[in-house]
Amino acid sequence: ELKVEQNPLFLSMQEGKNYTIYCNYSTTSDRLYWYRQDPGKSLESLFVLLSNGAVKQEGRLMASLDTKARLSTLHITAAVHDLSATYFCAVDEGGAQKLVFGQGTRLTINP
């Protein structure tokens, strides 16, 4: 059974600081997703990582994938308040967008 674990689950940080969210998964997969969710809203796609060593960046967010270690990271650079949200990683179970989600990381960025 595929399990996906994120840490930390809660993260409170100051604007301007850097931090990393970690996502570990238990079985082999070559598709890993990162999503953002604002309160009361659905999921907003951030990144799709498809191969070992993949690195993608968008603005202050950068995601990477190490399939050998079964680890993905979401790095936040010089955080701003607008990045406050819950971030989920998810792993594709079987290659047909059937996703298993991590617990989510609730990120709060304080001025």
Partner 1 sequence: GAVVSQHPSWVICKSGTSVKIECRSLDFQATTMFWYRQFPKQSLMLMATSNEGSKATYEQGVEKDKFLINHASLTLSTLTVTSAHPEDSSFYICSPGQGVDPEAFFGQGTRLTVV
Give me the residues that bind partner 1 (CB under 8 A), please.
31, 33, 40-43, 45, 48, 50, 88, 90, 92, 95-104
Q: Which helix (H) or strand (E) holds 72?
A: strand 71-76
Minimum distance of partner 1 from residue 18's CB (angstroms)? 25
Closest to partner 1 by CB, 83 vs 100, is: 100
Minimum distance of partner 1 from residue 46's CB (angstroms)? 11
Minimum distance of partner 1 from residue 17's CB (angstroms)? 25
Minimum distance of partner 1 from residue 63's CB (angstroms)? 14
Residue 22 to residue 94: CA distance in whole angstroms: 22
Residue 25 to residue 45: CA distance in whole angstroms: 19
Alpha carbon separation from 111 to 60, 87, 90 (Å, rounded):
16, 19, 29
Closest to partner 1 by CB, 39 vs 111, is: 39
Closest to partner 1 by CB, 42 vs 111, is: 42
Residue 51 to residue 86: CA distance in whole angstroms: 25
